[in-house]
Amino acid sequence: MSRFLNINNSHEVAEFQTELDLKCPVCDKLFRGNIHMCPKGHNICHNCVSKINSNHCPVCRVVLDPEARNRGLERVVAIIPERCKYESFGCSAIRKNGIEAHEANCDHRIVDCPLGLDRCSTPESPLTFGNLMSHIEMTHRTFMAKAHVGEGYSRFDAPAKSFEDPSVLIFPGALYGFNDNYFSSVAVKWGHWMYFWVYAITTRRKAESYDCILKFENKNNFLGRWSRDPVIPIDDSLFDVLNRGINCVTMPVGMAKERFWSEEEKRIAVYVIIKKTGQGTGIRPRKKAKT
């Protein structure tokens, strides 16, 4: 290795990191942030220490002191350039600091397609954020052609038998364009519950600036239920959302079918409004449809 490190040379950076042994022995990932150290000198990253069920070093099994840290190594790690973890997907970024901030917004990060979710991005053929909109334009042309501007109906096609199906069922809704960003509605049936939310196809920071209003109309065209929640960034996977159960509308499957499912159209219709955080609700009294 040359005496002076060329941070623009990814192979030289990788060699330098390997020579200094800067990986956690438990997860085999490069150290970041706090580095814990056992009495025998084994270094363990903060994420692994926080997941350990016992208070013993996972390498030598001696008792860990939760306050003991290798502050010298922390200072070394802080000044060593690090490659983006999405390098294998095409990213060439190298940073001395701020690599995590870069990764959170990296165009090469892996995401799910909101209109296909687990069906569009697979381990064998992952979908990156930078390719997401072109994928939607090519694969989901119907959704793109019918994209709403800020608000409109999401019609979730749901055959009667889908309410009895024990597996996880995903119902893509509609695409919305608002303030140069795209949003997509999603409905999922998981067990005995239905979940409804809106994905923001943008960065996590930009997603924090938007809310979504979901208006559920019952079979008599009256406003049966409405909810306002923050939109969910596209970086949160399907099961991240389901496991947290926040920022989405949840209701028992029986209620969804009885109150909001149209037997004639075999679908649940939800009116979606995208709003900047802090704007009014946009909810107005609705009159019963003429018969």
Domain CATH for 76: 3.30.40.10
Asked if residue 268 and residue 151 are part of one domain, the reply reads yes
pLDDT computed for residue 212 by the predictor? 95
Taking 80 as the threshold, does the pLDDT of residue 67 lie above it? yes
Asked if residue 133 and residue 100 are part of one domain, the reply reads no
pTM of the full structure: 0.74
Looking at the structure of the chain, the number of domains it has is 2
In a domain? residue 282: no
Mean pLDDT to the nearest integer, 22-26: 84
Asked if residue 179 and residue 100 are part of one domain, the reply reads no
In a domain? residue 207: yes
Q: Give the model confidence (pLDDT) of 84-142 as tens digits.
A: 889 889 998 887 777 888 998 999 999 989 888 667 877 788 899 999 999 998 888 88
Asked if residue 267 and residue 144 are part of one domain, the reply reads yes
Tell me how far apart the alpha carbons of residues 168 and 198 are, in angstroms, rounded to a whole number.
18
Asked if residue 182 and residue 98 are part of one domain, the reply reads no
Asked if residue 48 and residue 94 are part of one domain, the reply reads yes
Asked if residue 139 and residue 98 are part of one domain, the reply reads no
Residues 6+ apart with CB under 8 A from 263: 160
In single-letter form, the type of residue at position 125 comes to: S
**258: CATH:** 2.60.210.10
Asked if residue 134 and residue 48 are part of one domain, the reply reads no
Mean pLDDT to the nearest integer, 58-74: 88
Asked if residue 142 and residue 56 are part of one domain, the reply reads no
Domain boundary among 70, 105, 140: 105
Asked if residue 250 and residue 178 are part of one domain, the reply reads yes
Which of 44-48, 107-111, 217-221, 240-244 is predicted with the least confidence, judged by mean pLDDT?
217-221
Domain range holding 177? 129-276
